[in-house]
Amino acid sequence: MKLAALLLTFSFLSANTFAQCTPDNTFTEFGAYSSLGKNKIPDAWIDSAYNETLTIVIPTEIQGFAINQVTIKDVPNLYAGLSYLCKPSNCIFPGGTNNCIQIKGLATDSKETNQKTITLKLFIETSIVSFDTIIEVEFNLFDSATLSIQTPKSESITVYPNPASDLISFDLGRHLYNTLSIELMDLNGKLVKTFNFNSNEENVQVPTQYIENGLYIAKYQIDDKMLFNKITIQH
């Protein structure tokens, strides 16, 4: 009896260790939300630990019908090595509530790096009709081992000094742009800082004195083009 009780307690604790996500109740519109906003989730990297929460907002009605409940049936194209668990664990969310799913694990398949989205398959039950629907969530997977291949030398951006301490410069060379966004991410795909620029300058600088030491990925969104660099911050 004691062994059975111990095993039951261990199983309960193990399941809840995974499912400790907390929904963000500030969101009110139907969709999936992370720290990046609606229907987006921070990037993952091959062979790097991943742990993110998606808040799922279930409205009180849809298309004029009162929602009884919404069930997450599956996330069929979640990257290999990652898994998800809902809170509540049965993945059934009542109408008019904010709930969450936790996505966790270690992505392992570099062949999936061009997928760019995952799909949440939902079953919506209303007061009149029930139907299937999906939510497409932007979710990129990158492989740091092939980062230099994704950024051809002819399109590269020079970073100096690298390692950087208090300030880092980005030489954009001949890249012409209307808008430029530079995102610094750690190797777990977590967004650390975003810098936005509007002018078409060849050289831009960003402060790094308040960023912790470590290896980071700089992701550049130059109008509709995306480039990458590895940078090191060392104070």
Question: What is the token pair recorded at 148?
Answer: 């230099």
How far does Cα 138 stand from its chain's mean position? 8
Question: What is the token pair recorded at 150?
Answer: 């994704």
Dihedral of alpha carbons 46, 222, 202, 197, sign: negative
User: What is the predicted pLDDT for the residue at 146?
Assistant: 54
User: What is the predicted pLDDT for the residue at 13?
Assistant: 42
Phi (first) and psi of residue 171, to 5 degrees:
-95, 110
Which of 5-19, 76-90, 142-156 is the most confident on average? 76-90
Tens digits of per-residue pLDDT, 18-43?
Answer: 557 999 999 999 999 998 889 998 88
Can you tell me the distance from the alpha carbon of 177 to that of 227, in angstroms, rounded to the nearest whole number? 13
One of 3.50.50.60, 2.60.40.10, 3.40.605.10, 3.40.640.10 is the CATH number of 17-142, namely 2.60.40.10
Q: Does domain 144-233 have CATH number 2.60.40.3080?
A: yes
* pLDDT over 80 (residue 173): no
User: What is the average pLDDT across 69-96?
Assistant: 95
User: What is the predicted pLDDT for the residue at 25?
Assistant: 94
Q: Which amino acid is at 71?
A: T
* Vertex 166 angle, CA 160 and 169, to 5°: 30
Choice between 176 and 125, residue whose per-residue pLDDT is larger: 125
Tens digits of per-residue pLDDT, 111-165?
Answer: 898 788 999 999 999 989 999 999 999 998 887 655 543 444 445 688 888 888 8
User: What is the predicted pLDDT for the residue at 6?
Assistant: 42
Average pLDDT value for the chain: 83
Can you tell me the distance from the alpha carbon of 46 to that of 4, in angstroms, rounded to the nearest whole number? 38
Which of 6-10, 106-110, 116-120 is the most confident on average? 116-120
Which residue carries 């039951």 as its tokens? 8
Which residue spans of the chain are classified as CATH 2.60.40.3080?
144-233
Which residue spans of the chain are classified as CATH 2.60.40.10?
17-142
* pLDDT over 50 (residue 109): yes
Question: What is the token pair recorded at 86?
Answer: 């809902």
User: What is the predicted pLDDT for the residue at 42?
Assistant: 84
Find residue 142's DSSP bridge partners: 45
User: What is the predicted pLDDT for the residue at 97?
Assistant: 96
Q: How far is CA 111 from CA 20, 149, 190, in A?
A: 30, 14, 21
* pLDDT over 60 (residue 3): no
* pLDDT over 80 (residue 180): yes
User: What is the predicted pLDDT for the residue at 11?
Assistant: 43
**List of E strands, the chain:** 31-34, 37-38, 44-45, 49-58, 61-62, 65-74, 82-87, 92-94, 97-106, 117-126, 130-138, 141-142, 158-160, 167-171, 180-185, 191-197, 203-207, 214-222, 225-233
User: What is the predicted pLDDT for the residue at 98?
Assistant: 96
Tens digits of per-residue pLDDT, 199-214?
Answer: 777 788 999 988 988 8
Contacts of 122 (CB under 8 A, 6+ apart): 70, 71, 72, 73, 132, 133, 134, 135
